[in-house]
A and B are shown apart, each in its own frame.
Chain A
Amino acid sequence: MSEPLKKDLLGLDGVSADDINTILDTAKSFKEISHRRVKKVPALRGKTICNLFFEPSTRTRASFELAEKRLSADAVNISKSGSSVAKGETLRDTAENLQAMMIDVIVIRHSASGAPHFLASLLNASVINAGDGAHEHPTQGLLDIFTLREKFGDLKGKKITIIGDITHSRVARSNIYGLVTLGANVTVCGPPTLMPARVSELGVDVETNLRRAVTDADAVNVLRIQLERQKVNLFPSLAEYADVYGINSERLKWMKPDCLIMHPGPMNRGVEISQDVADGRQAVILEQVTNGVAIRMAVLYLLCGGVQLTKPDDVIEAAEEKEDTKVS
């Protein structure tokens, strides 16, 4: 079922362990570039990338843009307000117009699940999902897994607990797919109203009791309570959520002393995570952000490095044969 990654990264569902490891290994090399005097390599010189953000974002958007610039690609940013999207242009028309301007890659964030898949089927350009509705956020999943792998080495048998609104979380879904593929034991924990039906079919353990969920975890990934996705009241109040599922210094004592605390940001300090935990010794939240740039550089390089994107398969094959016979 796992097709090798070629031109698009739409999600981690169905991505093989080999492909995930290739991305993580490549990101390891890319991390060093951000520490250079000239934080730039010419790998994607001449490529044009459009960042199409239909939902607000600070981290992901800045991270993609920096990754693109550090690879020497040219980046164009489009957001919902200030573009023709506000005038009612359809996603299809927006994308086809961008392709007509010879864009090589589209990075898209959209509130509708499946929007990147729709574009990928429509366009020759590479499509990278930067978060689609409550579906997936593959580069966030990868950067979380990268951060864990940096700390633990092999993830086989490590226990990772994801806490919060699992139903609406694309971060949770991408983490689950990737971590399960790499052999980690994933537990999801949250109020039953924020737990998707049949979530255990994804290969995770479900736990509604916070203490039981975290007690033997190697890392705890604390999800943001996404008020913008709450159409009905799924829990009584933020205060009550913090009371039952918030991670604070009292609850750190339930965990192993070296358990890592992760958060995809932006944080609601005092709701899902307390001030002292967010800034505490076990938190790797800013390391996640640093790693995010390296992961996005790796994904961009792997998906669209090379001479041309839109060659038909037989030309690619001929090019591969030529590459094979080339000598150093």
Chain B
Amino acid sequence: MYVAVKGGERAISAAHAWLEETRRGDPAVPELTIAQIEQQMPLAVDRVMAEGSCHDRFLAALAIKQAKGDLIEAAFLLRAYRTTLPRFGASEPLDTTRMRLRRRISATYKDLPGGQVLGPTFDYTHRLLDFALAAEGEDRAVAPEMPAPAAEVPRVTELLAREGLMQREALAEEEPGDLTRQPLAFPAERPVRLQNLARGDEGFLLALGYSTQRGYGNAHPFVGEIRVGHVTVEFTPPELGFPIELGEIGITECQMVNQFKGSRTEPAQFTRGYGLVFGHGERRAMAMSLVDRGLRARELGEDITAPAQDEEFVLYHSDNIEATGFVEHLKLPHYVDFQSELENLRSIRRTAEAALPEAAE
């Protein structure tokens, strides 16, 4: 029960002013620009775009500045902003085989068409703090270049599918459900699950994905392929009637290959878990693909024994904007609620104390 209480305006206004002062920090230190955040904290920007479910690098960087670096708060700001904009429609589905790749690796094949391209990765770094970065005016690193062959880069899943060893995806072209228009309903179809996971909290997805590797869900995953790069977005305006290119966005895709023991209707084969996220978000895409595969247990007729296979548990708790709202609402005044709990507890105590002397007799 909530009761409106008046008062506190002066205190709130002072708290906001102090928040603003602490956001800026020591005025002797130069202020961060949005461009600096966008350019020099690109992975934070990518995470906010993914969890804010809105691709706009400038807005995500602005949100990070306003939120003092609290990325969940920043995603919240971005989600709130997007509700003020009209929607023009939906894009053509992205064609990730036509990505402009920065990175493309496979853990299942050493030699594969298109090769292993490492890209700008933290892998193989020593995780030693680099104190050179603490010095101002660092030398600008220059990435080396080599002639780029114009090679086809086929999907690893397609190579397996051609041999009949990888389950083909259903080629349904029906209109996918949209969580921003229709609330979650169960059982949730795969398009809705993927949308939910794509904007889910990275920490939650990571922990669940990890749990499937540690025996909660019986997964034996291999990274078939990870792709990081840019993809063209096409949209068909109704007044034109043909698709046009809106520009490019950065994305990360992960194809996780998992064994499937087969069923009465299907032979033993590989199945895939799929991850696709805005920006460069490799950990996020990998975790998403593990959880996606976990959630396919129902359609593949597997036993549902683990949290990552329980779609209600996963989909209802993945959204960090909803989660933070409900957890943080606990700090709102519950004075009346609590009074009734207190009264209840006192009355139980009184009843128990009144009964005690009789019991002693």
Task: Specify whether A and B are partners.
Answer: no
Chain B residues packing against A (C-beta within 8 Å): none
Chain A residues packing against B (C-beta within 8 Å): none
